[in-house]
Chain A
Amino acid sequence: MDLYIYNSLSFWGYFMKSQTQTEKSQHGSVRSYTIGFLLSIILTFAAYIPVVIHQNSYHQTFSHELLIPLVLFFALLQLMVQLIFFLHLAGSGSSARWNLAVFISTVCIVLVIVIGSVWIMSHLNYNMMSGSNMNKYIQNQEGIHK
C-alpha cells in the first residue's frame, strides 16, 4: 500500500529530489524557509500590483477575463510554494507521503464542494449568481418587493 502511494506520487519525489538530497532534516533548513518566504512575497505582489493598476485605471487596464485566471494562478503557485518550503509535503519518508496522500484526497473533496456549489447555484431557476436578474425574477414572478 505504501509502495503504491509512493509510486503514484513519485512525480513529487522527482520534483523535489534536489531539495531532499541536500537537506536531511524533516523540517527543512533556514535556506529553504528563506526561499519559500521570498517566493511568497514575490507572488503576493505579482497578484496584488495588477489588481491595483486595474482599479486605479477605473477597470480599463487589464480585462476581467485576464486578471481572474492570473490572480488564481498566483494563489495556486503560492500554495505550492508554501506546501513545499513551509510544510515540507514533498519530503521523503513514509509519513510525508501519507500526509501528501491525505492532502490530495482532501483537495478532491474541496474541489467538489466549491465547484459543485457554484455550478449548481449559478444554474438555478432564480439564477442566484447574478443579482439583477434575480431581483427582476422575484419581483415579476413572486410579487416580492424590497
Chain B
Amino acid sequence: MNKHDNNDKTIFGFWVYLMTDLVMFAALFAAFAVLRNNTFGGIAIRDIFNPPFVLIETLILLTSSFSIGLTILSAQANKKTQTIFFLLTTFALGVSFLTMELIEFSHLIHDGNSFQRSAFLSSFFTLVGTHGLHITAGLVWMGILIIQVLGRGLTISTVRKLTLLTLFWHFLDIVWIFIFTIVYLFGGIL
C-alpha cells in the first residue's frame, strides 16, 4: 500500500513537471503566432509546409506513441522480452522522427533560411527545435532504460521509470499535434 502511494506521488510530481513544460511550449507558440509574418523578405510560413514529408513525420510519432503504450502494458503484464521489443520499436521510430526533423532543418539552413534570417524563422526553429530537443532527451532516457530492463529485469523501480517515460513521450506527441496544426497546416492554408 505504501509503495503504491509513493508511486502515485512520483507520477503526480512528474505530471506537474510536464505541465510546467507545457507552459514553456505555450510561450514559444505565442512567440511563433506573433512573429509569423515578420519574414523580412525571407521565406514565409506557406513555404514551410511540405505536404507528404510532415505527414510521415506525424504518423511516425503517432505510431511511436502507440508502441510505447504497448511497452508499458507489456511491462505491467511482466513480459520482459515483449517490453524490450516494443521499447526498441519506439526507439527506432523516435530516431526516424528526429532524423527527418534534422533533414528538414539542414535543408532550410543549406538554402540560407537559418534561424538568423528573420524573426519568423527564429521563432520556427526555437519552437520545433525545442520539441526536437525533448525528443532527443527522451531517446537518451529510453536507451538507458533499455539497458536497465535488460540488466535488472522488470522491478518496481524500472516499471515506474517506464511509466514516467510513457507519460513524457505521450506529452511530446500532444505538443507535436499542435506544431503540426499551427506551424505546418496553417502554413498550407495561409
Contact = CB atoms under 8 A, between A and B. Distances in A.
B11 interface: yes
A52 B51 CA distance: 7
Nearest to A105: B19
Contact of B69 (A28, A98, A114): A28
Interface residues of A, number: 51
Contacts, number: 133
Contacts of A71: 181, 185-186, 189
Interface in A75-124: 75, 78-79, 82-83, 86-87, 95, 98-99, 102-103, 106, 109-110, 113-114, 116-118, 121
Interface of A: 25, 27-30, 33-34, 36-37, 40-41, 44, 47-48, 51-52, 54-55, 64, 67-68, 71-72, 74-75, 78-79, 82-83, 86-87, 95, 98-99, 102-103, 106, 109-110, 113-114, 116-118, 121, 128-131, 134, 146
Nearest 8 interchain pairs by C-beta: A117-B30, A131-B37, A110-B26, A106-B19, A75-B181, A37-B66, A51-B188, A33-B69
Given A28-B69, A113-B30, 7 more contacts: A44-B59, A44-B180, A48-B55, A68-B186, A87-B170, A110-B23, A146-B41
A75 B16 CA distance: 23
Given A47-B185, A71-B181, A79-B174, A29 B73 contact: yes
B166 to A, nearest CB: 8
Interface string B1-37: 0000000100110011001101100110111011101
A108 B79 CA distance: 40
Contacts of B29: 114
Contacts of B69: 28, 33, 36-37, 86
A99 B8 CA distance: 10
Interface size class of B (residues with CB under 8 A): 35 or more
B62 interface: yes
Contacts of A74: 181
A94 to B, nearest CB: 8
Contacts of A54: 188-189
B167 to A, nearest CB: 7
B70 interface: yes
Given A72-B181, A78-B177, A129 B34 contact: yes
A118 B34 contact: yes
Contacts of A109: 23, 26
A113 B27 contact: yes
Contact of B62 (A44, A48, A87, A129): A44
B85 interface: no
16 contacts: A25-B76, A44-B180, A48-B185, A52-B51, A54-B188, A55-B49, A64-B190, A83-B174, A95-B12, A99-B12, A103-B15, A109-B23, A113-B27, A114-B33, A117-B34, A134-B38
B189 A33 contact: no
A121 B73 contact: no
B50 to A, nearest CB: 11
A146 B41 CA distance: 9
